[in-house]
Amino acid sequence: MLILCFIIVAAVPYLLCGINTAIIVTKIKSGEDIRTMGSGNAGLTNTLRTQGKMAALFVLLGDVIKGVISVLLVRLAFKYIGGIDTSVISNGMNYIGFIAGVFAVLGHSFPLYYKFRGGKGVLVTAAVLLTVDWLSAIILIGIFAVIVMITKYVSLGSIIAGSLYPFLVLILGKLRGDPTVVLNFIFGLAIAFLLIFMHRENIKRLKNKTEKKLGEKTNNKLT
């Protein structure tokens, strides 16, 4: 039965988080593909810039909900099919939530439903981390908010917070005496790598000082 649980930990987050709310909301609102508009990213910031605040709110809620639900479904599968409560740190199975996080980000960024062209996975990562390690999530969200407030660059806040993600998990895991801290760190590194990889164009624009700031207007054509 554990084999089935490990299939679920990969399949459920990937397939569920592959449902891209930015693409769906934009299609409903304007009939367009958001990947052909603004920055071309199927995510919250591009939705805000090209579709407005209400559309962005639906994307925010959708990405957070699917990230949380994907981890909860995995935990339920392990509990009721495998007989293991993966939310308990002491039993050495806490790393399952982080594996779910990797596949959640993979599903969001490379969705099967949309020819493997999705978003960058920031909100999904935050939602997953809130579910598996709420303290780390709160700290990273705070760091992200401060950076965006100071610089007005959402991408920079995402890149820095994402880079700190595995190291914060490692530090807090050590303090808690988490027996799976090394595994959590490794899977955290995988998520951080995915986030940075998905922001590679933003990094180039930040270096060239052509990255758009939060609140800066953009036309709806792909730029």
Mean confidence (pLDDT) of the chain: 91
Q: How confident is the model at residue 218 (pLDDT cuts 50, 70, 90)?
A: low
- Is-above-0.75 flag for pTM? yes
- Tens of pLDDT, residue by residue over 38-94, are 888 898 989 988 999 999 999 999 999 999 999 999 999 999 998 999 988 777 888
Q: What are phi and psi of 111, to 5 degrees?
A: -75, 135
CA distance 26 to 9: 29
Q: How confident is the model at residue 96 (pLDDT cuts 50, 70, 90)?
A: very high
Placement of tokens 């779910």 in the chain:
100
DSSP assignment, residue 89? G
